[in-house]
Structure 1
């Protein structure tokens, strides 16, 4: 982590030394358009960063699956983290499950099986997502990863009837900030490659950080110009954490003329990992 700090300081010093860079950073952003009284946040958006590898600060690392076979391809990039304060406040009871996740991140991560990512991970996986905001009340979020989606119900927070992979989301506007509360994220059990089943939880990253179906996730989307938003998410889950904690990062609008979501249907990519033993047995019996 010392090398990360030195690199960050060097880049910051260079930016201050070059007037053009400093001016670009301080340039006033064009105000976002509006739909009625609210900001118009329609468009294709994407994060930049390393949060999907690990939301906490982390050093670069080798490919966790096959570093000897592919070298630097798939290696983990270093990241300063997006957790305010740097550390997620897990309680003692959660440490055992956290250690299990961290010891087997590739085998246990629901992303490997192409399961829906949940909230907030869907935001910062690195794939674009689209916000569809009309003149009606509800707002639709559509994600390129696994064709996931969710409806933001613009109404008072209620009691979801069932747990689902993406939870149930309720939204409201506080000034120019869209505040979304998501409850009842209850993934099913995860099937491991060897056929073992583990209790499903919502993973926050590939490093094994997680929340459970008792979590309350509150997101805040605040436009800071025509083409970027501040994204802040606070997570409270007394079964896992000693206190509520927060992540922050920017989200950028894709501004190219042909910006659109493409298909990333990952189920076929995970079949060999999940069902390879069954496929091999079937082929051997024919």
Structure 2
């Protein structure tokens, strides 16, 4: 089973089509500012709040584009994916909106809150062991039995085109941005950012932010080819997956740099934005702010868009609850 549904590289026409297709099913999320963070960093920061998105994360954009782009014949067989997090929720949400079956292969160790949310949106969960081999074997069996359409969490042109609508909105909401920074794991959001901005605002620099404990994208960027870690350990659980061929295409052609933050820096940024801006974000979403705070010389005096990718966090397991 290939992890790539298609080698087709999405175009800006695909983004425009995605914007129209998903409009009834997603929020146009707000952009917030903070004088505190502007003073702290020496930059003008504009937070694109995808934590307020349907299903609590940006991934609903790509999932909705994939689901609502299916022909009636394909839709009848439903969709399937493997995910332990926001893509599972988002695909279940989109499939529920269209009224088609959705099956999600999830590791048995996935948070119960995420499993409950998938079920709440109508998704059927097939559990596997928490390993790549078990996930792929289980998923192959699911697709073989159902004939469902595979919607990859990020290495899918339909998903990337959907994610591109986020930075397209941001560019419409904020004039004269100098830079945009977003988290990077598999690279779906950053690829969409590259796809949109390279067409509508090519002068905007694109940065990716990554946990130091899961810095395979940063190392790939420096090496000039994909380096994939098997099982990185980071609090930013949404950023543990490696780049794939489609996302690498965009990262290697359009990203200015990939910046990293330590676990402590990520937690500090997450805690600070909760305290100062009163918004809930998950650890993965705090990584860009952490890298901006860490690298003031890059962003000083600049107008910077920061994409807050999601707000699905377990409130009983916040990282600072064990500080005492």
TM-score norm. by structure 1 comes to 0.28
Q: Which has the larger radius of gyration?
A: 1
Higher helix content, 1 or 2? 2
Q: Which has the higher strand share?
A: 1
